[in-house]
């Protein structure tokens, strides 16, 4: 076999991507992408990159998204032409809105086969539209070369290069459309590979926050610990969504939704400093849209937060020196303390258990048995998962009813939390969590990745359960709160207006899927638990690998 321009170009491009900081490639098989696929396998065998193979492009896209979310480095996802490319759109949209560096490498037919009815050929060079920071329709190898494309793509994805749709300092997805002519593969050339680091945006001059106005800090999805740091520096109340990664520290506000509705607290707010993307409560959305409130939003994704039409977008903030308004903070913390939700079990009664009085001993034993047999509800489920998770673990929330329950009842804890809240879609949750697990455990680090989601979000991403037997198996727990349908719609207006039969058919979509059979088919361990004690044991068992934990819940 001889070499081919397609193979030479593919090998050179992937080596250049490694040189600019790419360490992971997620691949979906296909004919037109064979040169790229073989180059990726070659570099993976040499230890230059980690290769993850998924047969479903939508799963591949979200897996790459999860790896990039956790690592902060650009991740390439590689597929063939045609509908394969369209299946990357959901993950691309999420990456755009969440500010995640994703590289979309899509193989294509050469220009002469576009628009003439050729097999698996479509108008894919611009399919992602404004959802990519840069779109590059590369030349056909032989007509031109791909030199410099890797550097340009990585710079745009990391927010270093101000591309056509770029946002300086903010990461996002980039599309490399890669056409080729036959022969599509050949002898792999010898290429020197040098691993490098991705470029990082230069630090922006922070916007200085004056001490004067009555201020709260709001931390939405992907805010991170910087939100807590600013709240601490300013002595301001911290309203931190459970998906923010900032729900810790002395200034977090419990029961924030009710407090925002109160005129004596929420009604007196003069300024809001926003980190990340808040999505979990109507009260925060109303605050950010309120007239007379100054809103300063630290830019995160491809779309500016501007619900009131006059929000100031900044790249970073600092707090000016001066005396804090401790009275303002004190009011919030006093109100917050009264709204802490305690879901812990009652401590055992050692005196009753050891009593010589049969009636007292029976009562103590009965109380202990009631605690052990206590059935699970949504509050106890989210509390158990939260308590089992520590800084060396990862916790992923699906866009299900459970994330809102968690936001309402869980206290403060500094743990790494992820969620696809850029667009808050139901799709790709298991695949994203798998990518997060692979990235967080790649260097041999300890910990478990737990993903908490509802049954419909689970069923929506069943394809992500399929993992190749020759790849490293992540430590991953998928905890499914199964109420037999989409009860998240209970909170919408339609629940009060539509007939029950119509609600079931069009919204709740009840099902009778046996999750245990799915787990067995895909090679996962499975356990169904119905009590808090059994759930605690399942979450903290020392078993590694992949486990599905099903928790039946009432409709």
Mean pLDDT by 10 residues, the chain (555 residues): 87 97 97 96 96 98 98 98 97 97 97 87 91 95 94 95 70 97 90 91 88 96 96 97 97 97 96 97 97 94 92 95 95 96 71 70 64 83 97 96 96 96 96 98 94 96 96 96 83 78 82 95 97 94 90 91
Q: Minimal CA–CA distance to 246: which of 231, 224, 230?
A: 224
Residue 94 CA, distance from chain mean position: 9
What's the token pair of residue 327?
Answer: 């009275």
- Rounded CA separation 417/248 (Å): 12
Residues 58 and 461: beta-carbon distance below 8 Å: no
What's the pLDDT at 375? 85
**Long-range contacts from 363-370, C-beta under 8 angstroms, 24+ separation:** none
- The helix (run of H) or strand (run of E) holding residue 25 is strand 24-27
What's the pLDDT at 331? 97
Beta strands (DSSP E) in 371-507 are 394-397, 417-419, 449-454, 476-482
- Rounded CA separation 216/307 (Å): 17
- Rounded CA separation 308/284 (Å): 12
- The helix (run of H) or strand (run of E) holding residue 139 is none
- The helix (run of H) or strand (run of E) holding residue 551 is strand 546-552
What's the token pair of residue 214?
Answer: 């009555």
Q: In a 10 Å sphere around its CB, with 0-12 CB exposed, 13-18 middle and 19+ buried, how is residue 447 labelled?
A: middle
For tokens 């924030």, what's the residue?
256
Beta strands (DSSP E) in 49-180 are 50-53, 75-79, 102-108, 134-137, 173-179
Residue 337 CA, distance from chain mean position: 30
Task: Write the DSSP symbol of residue 158.
Answer: T
- Rounded CA separation 296/278 (Å): 13
What's the pLDDT at 99? 96
- Rounded CA separation 105/35 (Å): 12
Residues 285 and 278: beta-carbon distance below 8 Å: yes
Q: What are the percentages of helix, strand and coil residues in the chain, rounded to 5?
A: 35, 15, 45
- The helix (run of H) or strand (run of E) holding residue 427 is none
Q: Which residues of 178-205 are buried (b: 16+ CB within 10 A; e: fewer)?
A: bbbbeebbbebbebebeeeebbebeeee
Beta strands (DSSP E) in 315-434 are 317-319, 394-397, 417-419
Residues 352 and 360: beta-carbon distance below 8 Å: yes
Q: In a 10 Å sphere around its CB, with 0-12 CB exposed, 13-18 middle and 19+ buried, how is residue 342 labelled?
A: exposed
What's the token pair of residue 520?
Answer: 């067995």
pTM metric for this prediction: 0.93
What's the pLDDT at 10? 96
- The helix (run of H) or strand (run of E) holding residue 83 is helix 83-86
DSSP bridge partners of 450 = 395, 477
For tokens 């500094």, what's the residue?
414
């Amino acid at each position: 076999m001889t070499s081919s321009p397609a193979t030479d170009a593919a090998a050179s491009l992937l080596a250049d991507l490694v040189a600019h900081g790419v360490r992971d490639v997620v691949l979906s098989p296909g004919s037109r992408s064979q040169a790229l696929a073989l180059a990726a396998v070659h570099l993976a065998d040499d230890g230059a990159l980690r290769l993850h193979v998924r047969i479903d492009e939508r799963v591949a896209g979200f897996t790459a998204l999860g790896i990039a979310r956790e690592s902060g480095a650009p991740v390439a996802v590689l597929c063939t032409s045609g509908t394969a490319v369209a299946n990357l759109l959901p993950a691309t949209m999420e990456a755009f809105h969440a500010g995640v560096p994703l590289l979309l490498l899509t193989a294509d037919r050469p220009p002469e086969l576009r628009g003439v009815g050729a097999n698996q050929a479509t108008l894919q060079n611009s399919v992602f539209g404004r959802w990519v920071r840069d779109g590059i329709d590369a030349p056909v190898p032989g007509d031109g070369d791909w030199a410099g494309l890797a550097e340009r793509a990585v710079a745009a994805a990391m927010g270093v290069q101000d591309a056509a749709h770029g946002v300086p300092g903010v990461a996002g997805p980039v599309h490399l459309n890669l056409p080729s002519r036959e022969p599509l593969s050949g002898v792999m050339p010898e290429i020197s590979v040098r691993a490098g680091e991705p470029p990082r945006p230069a630090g922006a001059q922070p916007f200085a926050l004056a001490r004067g106005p009555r201020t709260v800090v709001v931390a939405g999805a992907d805010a991170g610990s910087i939100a807590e740091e600013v709240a601490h520096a300013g002595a301001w109340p911290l309203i931190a969504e459970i998906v923010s990664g900032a729900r810790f520290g002395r200034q977090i506000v419990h029961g924030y939704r009710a407090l925002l509705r109160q005129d004596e607290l929420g009604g007196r707010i003069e300024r809001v400093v926003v980190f990340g993307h808040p999505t979990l409560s109507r009260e925060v959305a109303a605050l950010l849209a309120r007239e007379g409130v100054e809103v300063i939003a630290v830019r995160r994704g491809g779309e500016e937060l501007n619900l009131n039409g006059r929000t100031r977008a900044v790249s970073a903030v600092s707090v000016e020196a001066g005396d804090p308004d401790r009275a303002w903070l004190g009011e919030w913390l006093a109100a917050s303390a009264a709204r802490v939700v305690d879901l812990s079990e009652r401590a055992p009664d050692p005196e009753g258990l050891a009593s010589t009085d049969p009636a007292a001993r029976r009562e103590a034993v009965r109380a202990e048995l009631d605690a052990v047999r206590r059935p699970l509800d949504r509050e106890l489920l989210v509390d158990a998962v939260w308590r089992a998770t520590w800084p060396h673990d990862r916790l992923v929330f699906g866009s299900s009813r459970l994330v809102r329950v968690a936001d309402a009842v869980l206290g403060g804890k500094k743990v790494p939390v992820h969620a696809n809240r850029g667009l808050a879609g139901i799709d790709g949750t298991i695949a994203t969590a798998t990518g997060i697990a692979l990235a967080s455990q790649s260097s041999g680090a300890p910990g478990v990745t737990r993903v908490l989601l509802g049954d419909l979000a689970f069923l929506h991403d069943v394809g992500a359960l399929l993992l190749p037997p020759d790849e490293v198996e992540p430590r991953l727990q998928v905890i499914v709160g199964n109420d037999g349908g989409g009860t998240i719609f209970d909170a919408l207006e339609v629940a009060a207006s539509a007939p029950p039969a119509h609600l079931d058919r069009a919204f709740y979509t009840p099902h009778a899927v046996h999750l245990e059979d799915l787990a067995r088919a895909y090679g996962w361990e499975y356990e169904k638990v119905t009590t808090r004690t059994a759930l605690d044991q399942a979450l903290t068992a020392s078993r590694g690998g992949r486990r599905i934990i099903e928790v039946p819940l009432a409709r």
